[in-house]
Amino acid sequence: MCGYANRIAYIDLTRSKVRFRKLKERFLREYIGGRGLGARYLYDLLPPKIDPLSPLNVLIYAVGPLTGTGAPGSARGAVITKSPKTMTFDDSHAGGFFPSWLKIAGYDALIIMGRASKLSYIYIDFDGKISIKDATHLKGYGVFKTEEVLREEVGDKQAKIASIGPAGENLVKLSGIIVDKHHIHARGGPGAVMGSKNLKAIVVSADTRNPRFEIKDVDGFKEYNNWYVKEKIFSEEYSWAKNGGTPEIVEWSNEAGVFPTRNFQTGVTDNWSLLAVETLKKYRTSKAACYRCSVACRNLTRIKDDKWGEITIDGPEYETIGMVGGATGITDFKAVVALNSLIDDLGLDTISTGNIIGMIMELYEKRLISKNDLNGIEAKWGDAEAAYELIKMIAYRKGFGDIMAEGAREVAVYIGGDAWKYAVETKGLEYPAYDPRGSWSMALAYATADRGADHLRAWSIAEEAFGELDPFTAEGKAEIVKRLQDLNSVKWCMIWCDFIAINYEEMSRYLNLVTGWDTTPEELAFKGERIWNLIRLFNVREGFRREDDYIPYKIAYEPMPSGPAKGKRVSPEDFEKMLDDYYKLRGWNREGIPTRKKLAQLRLGRVAKKYSYPRYHP
């Protein structure tokens, strides 16, 4: 089948065995790849309500039919697993070069099961052969050193690597899987799942001159891709990405009053320009791109400082600036770069890490926690050195870091009293860098996101607070959120970057040129909704209901004190209206469970009844 390597590897770490299976076209037409393919395998392979850190959980790395083709924004892969952070379905996406290398090496997905008896790594060599190797000598290594050692060990300087740092090894639930040093499958704790399997890294060597997949209509693909790049990517619409990338959003968020300042105490900061794109440009050495991507949104940044030393990173991105900078009150750009580098090397999620440090600083300010609890650290707003030490405490589960490593909700439960009012999360996943009090649709998007508070399941703020719609009304928000969730759900099957503002017609054209299929835009829209509902079914069988689709205390009860959203909050009444509207549009009952009628429409009736154990499970 064109567009696919047509091979999946089942890697049983318990038995040190690898099995291969070919993909069936009918199955691929239903689930496409990436998020959709991983969702179906996860649903089928996992028994309900397992411990995500047990050998029964599976870790799936999947690419899509567009991965590695040179279509803009398609150099991406997805990690799919059950989240130890939220106990929900979890898929996390990242770019760089590793996903394309995996596809070029001849794999559409790796399904990793069981637990190795000792710390190990998986190596895929130039012939596509998979072997499981000893990694005990890498124990405790940061991501940067791990990549350096493994490239030398396999004898391939161009090998691409997905690895975990000490945080993943220590089963920190904020840990991710890092590829190419600074691209991370972050949210929901996939790094902890990898660590629980005693798996330090996946290394891929690939011959880019001889990719193990084909494009059906090579000439047609080149012609359409050239047109798309010229007319779309090189248009004014993408100038922000080429100019500054996501740090451009710092100014937009402050103008809209949604920048997460001091643990969401307010949505604006007077010093926003110190963290904005013009400041970044002072330290930027060059622009960069993921594999064969024409957008080139990445910023390679270098600082040289007496306090932090000389550091080069790929970033920082807006979410890191917002959560490591804004949410902690740190406005020193060099400090944010240094903290970003540390977080990446240790293998943590910058969003959740920044959120929790901001929470700790507010709890310290409110005297709900003291320096005695924090190993002598005075967690004051804007103190980058304190944040640096707190990050290490989290990664190594040192002292109170053992509680922070579990998440903001767990910190609140541990402290007790009013601490829960300062935890800004949904389903146990910490909020990212947009305050919904200035964008009510984002409150609904966070609440209904399948893996907890997630800004990319539906980045509705673009049409609302950053666009022309009224951000302070509940009317019409359910339609926006549902539409974007379905669209993104199918985008992440193929897999496209979130920067690519592609529609169903353009996606179907690309898909058909690569595969030779005749998929219509309407069919893609149907598949996006179908996959979103399949994932909801996964969460429902795990026990999730309406009560889990909530917004935190600050957003519901504390009016914004300043800025464009001053005096605004998302009241429980307004939120419940949006949630009712959303469930109705989705065809779910009042508890958020898809109805039999909706399941029949989406041809998911039989799937919903399937809770059997997998054939190949260890």
DSSP sequence for 229-293: IIIIITSGGGHHHHHT-GGGHHHHHHHHT---BTTTTBS--TTGGGGSHHHHHTTEEEEE-STT-
Q: What is the pLDDT of residue 610?
A: 63
pLDDT at 615 over 50: no
pTM of the model: 0.96
Mean pLDDT is lowest, of 66-75, 94-103, 238-247, for 238-247
- Mean pLDDT across the chain, nearest whole number? 95
Give the contacts of 169 (CB within 8 A, at least 6 positions apart). Answer: 119, 139, 140, 195, 200
Burial of 413 (0-12, 13-18, 19+ CB in 10 A): middle
pLDDT at 314 over 60: yes
- Please write the tens of the pLDDT for every residue from 186-200: 999 999 999 999 999
CATH architecture of 436-608: Orthogonal Bundle (1.10)
- Sequence spans of domains, the chain: 8-204, 241-426, 436-608
Give the contacts of 432 (CB within 8 A, at least 6 positions apart). Answer: 319, 322, 323, 351, 355, 453, 454, 455
d(CA 63, CA 105): 12
Q: Is the separation of the CB atoms in 443 and 551 below 8 Å?
A: yes
- Please write the tens of the pLDDT for every residue from 515-524: 999 999 999 9
- Classified by CATH at the fold level, domain 8-204 comes out as Aldehyde Ferredoxin Oxidoreductase;  A, domain 1 (3.60.9)
- Please write the tens of the pLDDT for every residue from 259-304: 999 999 999 999 999 999 999 999 999 999 999 999 999 999 999 9
pLDDT at 609 over 90: no
* Of residues 252 and 608, more confidently modeled: 252
pLDDT band at 606 (very low <50, low <70, confident <90, very high): confident
Q: What is the pLDDT of residue 618?
A: 34
Q: What is the pLDDT of residue 237?
A: 87
Across 546-560, average pLDDT: 98
Q: Which residue has the tokens 């920048």?
A: 259
- Classified by CATH at the fold level, domain 241-426 comes out as 1.10.569
Do the domains spanning 241-426 and 436-608 agree at the CATH topology level? no
Q: What is the pLDDT of residue 241?
A: 85
